[in-house]
């Protein structure tokens, strides 16, 4: 199986040097292993050139089978390997709301079942570069355009308006989006969907409070300062239990998308598979 994974890494990276880095091998070692594999097959698998390498006709023919073998191998290892023996760090980049309300629960389950895997959470509004190894898993609100990035699963949830429970008691049942004091992202984050919604729906919109920090927004909302737009499913998590949803229709913005993304180099790595599957189970 090792030879197949070596072949797959080079085929997907398009160069021996990039593949060696992803496999944490020296390039001479990887080149020798591929050469041994080619000698065993009796044919070459790659055309080497100054820009990297390309698959030969045999290499292209073997690639689909190699991918399937890698998937089966990962499934077997994940199901049969002793959890304590699977080790290493997995970095997840995600929007602050997901980092705040979802990933701590996933981390708790991960530590219980696979204590050798360390989860590093990178809370970020901007998208980190998986191709450059800035993270292993990305939870994003938009599908990637890069063909090297793979969407493992997509989830959809309604967006709702939340206020502190004490504040909710003082509001009428017919409260509208125009009647509330609003908490939102600071102006440098106006590209985010909640800010766009509020500016579109409320003429001359001015928030009562804004911040570039999600935790600060949650604290302000919990203190009763105003209303905050959140994905519906996040409010079921323990840190947000003191917030209450209001019966306000957010029209065409009422659906929020989340996509679990990995780079194709990482999709067969056992610890990445384990974490991504835990994420998917949580969102289901």
Decide which of 120 and 145 is more confident: 120
Q: What is the pLDDT of residue 99?
A: 86
CA 225 from centroid of its chain's CA atoms = 31
Confidence of residue 111 (pLDDT cuts 50, 70, 90): very high
Decide which of 252 and 58 is more confident: 58
With contact defined as beta carbons under 8 Å apart, do 97 and 231 qualify?
yes
* Percent of all residues in the chain with a pLDDT value above 70, rounded to a whole number: 89
Question: What is the fold of 2-80?
Answer: Arc Repressor Mutant, subunit A (1.10.10)
Rounded average pLDDT over 20-40: 87
Please tell me what DSSP assigns to residue 4. H
Confidence of residue 264 (pLDDT cuts 50, 70, 90): confident
List of residues 6+ apart from 281 with CB closer than 8 A:
none
Q: What is the pLDDT of residue 235?
A: 60
Which range has the top average pLDDT, 47-61, 79-93, 244-258? 47-61
Residue 222 vs residues 166, 235, 240, 245: alpha-carbon distances, Å: 9, 12, 8, 12
Q: Is the pLDDT of residue 252 over 70?
A: no
Q: Is the pLDDT of residue 74 over 90?
A: no
Confidence of residue 166 (pLDDT cuts 50, 70, 90): very high
* Domain definitions of the chain by residue range: 2-80, 85-153+257-283, 156-253
Same fold, 2-80 and 85-153+257-283: no
Rounded average pLDDT over 132-136: 82
Which range has the top average pLDDT, 109-118, 141-150, 251-260? 109-118
**Beta-ladder partners of 93:** 122, 138
Confidence of residue 81 (pLDDT cuts 50, 70, 90): low
Q: What is the pLDDT of residue 78?
A: 53
Full DSSP string of 118-148: EEEEEE-SSPP-TTTTS-SEEEESS----TT
Instruction: Write out the CATH class of domain 156-253.
Output: alpha beta
Q: Is the pLDDT of residue 1 over 70?
A: no
Q: How confident is the prediction for the chain on average, in pLDDT? A: 85
Nearest Cα residue to 92 out of 284, 271, 281: 271
Q: Is the pLDDT of residue 233 over 90?
A: no
Instruction: Write out the CATH class of domain 85-153+257-283.
Output: alpha beta
Rounded average pLDDT over 165-194: 91
């Amino acid at each position: 199986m090792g030879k197949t994974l070596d072949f797959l890494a080079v085929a997907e990276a398009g160069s021996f040097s990039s593949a060696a880095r992803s496999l944490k091998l020296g390039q001479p070692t990887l080149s020798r292993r591929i050469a041994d594999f080619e000698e065993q097959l009796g044919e070459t698998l790659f055309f080497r050139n100054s820009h990297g390498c390309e698959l030969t006709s045999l290499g292209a023919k073997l690639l689909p089978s190699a991918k399937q073998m890698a998937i089966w191998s990962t499934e077997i290892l994940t199901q049969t390997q002793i959890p304590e023996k699977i080790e290493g760090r997995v970095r997840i980049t995600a929007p602050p709301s997901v980092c705040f309300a979802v990933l701590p629960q996933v981390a708790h389950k991960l530590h219980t079942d696979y204590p050798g895997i360390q989860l590093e959470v990178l809370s970020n509004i901007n998208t980190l570069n998986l191709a450059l190894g800035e993270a292993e898993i990305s939870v994003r609100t938009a599908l990637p355009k890069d063909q090297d990035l793979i969407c493992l699963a997509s989830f959809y949830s309604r967006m709702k308006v939340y206020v502190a429970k004490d504040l909710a008691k003082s509001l009428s049942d017919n409260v509208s989006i125009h009647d509330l004091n609003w908490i939102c992202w600071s102006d440098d984050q106006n590209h985010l969907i909640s800010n766009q919604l509020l500016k579109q729906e409320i003429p001359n919109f001015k928030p009562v409070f804004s911040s570039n920090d999600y935790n600060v927004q949650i604290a302000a909302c919990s203190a009763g300062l105003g209303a905050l737009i959140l994905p519906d499913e996040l409010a079921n998590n323990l840190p947000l239990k003191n917030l209450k949803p209001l019966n306000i229709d957010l029209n065409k913005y009422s659906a929020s998308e989340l996509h679990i993304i990995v780079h194709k180099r990482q999709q067969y790595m056992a610890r990445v598979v384990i974490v991504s599957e835990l994420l998917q189970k949580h969102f289901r």
